[in-house]
Amino acid sequence: MRDERNIILIGFMGSGKSTVAEVLHGMGFDCIDLDALIVERSGRTIPEIFARDGEGVFRDLETEALRSLAGLRRAVVSTGGGIVGREENWILMKALGTIVYLQAGWETLRTRLAAGEGRPLADKSDWSKVEALWRRRLPLYEKADLIVDTDDRTPEEVAERIMKAVSRSWELGVTSPGPS
């Protein structure tokens, strides 16, 4: 029998959530990108929402999108990096499935962020500010059910580690924090 539980990916910008979610999609999971869902429903890009309405409105849309996923089965949900800042989001994520933190060191994140675009909170002119945000969120990310290190690993390797760790926790009927 196929397991119908969900995997919720959390982590800082650049940790690989969307990329790893696509790999897990290839392993038989439906794939939900929460940011893409917000864009679809609002008709605006994430940077547009931040610029016009501010981060608070974006966080409200994020919680609303997460809430709309109740009843989801056999899916991987890629979340935004700041979803961990609201207690309500933790309750919703826990109800959805196993929360997996994609952990990456600051140098890895900075390299990945430097190569990307469209992240309103990744101010490339002030890396110290971005690093401070990452450090503030670390204790929140570490509340995840499982932690998987992404440094020096391909998305496929990360997905394999997630599947091993999640399968093991599902078999035992428990989840336990710790690096994988």
> What are 93-115's pLDDT values in tens digits?
999 999 999 999 999 998 888 87
Average pLDDT of the residues in 10-39? 94
**95 belongs to a structural domain:** yes
- Determine contact, residues 138/144, Cβ cutoff 8 Å: no
Query: What's the pLDDT band for 179 if we cut at 50, 70, 90?
Result: very low
**78 belongs to a structural domain:** yes
Mean pLDDT of the chain: 88
**180 belongs to a structural domain:** no
Average pLDDT of the residues in 170-176? 58
Structural domain boundaries enclosing 57: 6-172
**90 belongs to a structural domain:** yes
Neighbours of 67 (CB within 10 A): 14
**101 belongs to a structural domain:** yes
Q: Which residue has the higher pLDDT, 165 or 141?
A: 141
**178 belongs to a structural domain:** no
> For 179, which DSSP code?
B
| Proportion of the chain above pLDDT 90, given as a percent | 68
Q: What is the pLDDT of residue 118?
A: 54
Classify residue 159 as exposed, middle or buried by CB count within 10 Å of its CB (0-12, 13-18, 19+).
buried
pLDDT at 176 over 50: no
Helices 155-172 + 17-25 axis angle, to 10? 70
Q: Structurally, how many domains does the chain consist of?
A: 1
Q: Identify the CA nearest to 104 among candidates 20, 7, 6, 5.
A: 20
* Minimum mean pLDDT range among 3-7, 88-92, 123-127: 123-127
Bridge partners for 179 per DSSP: 147
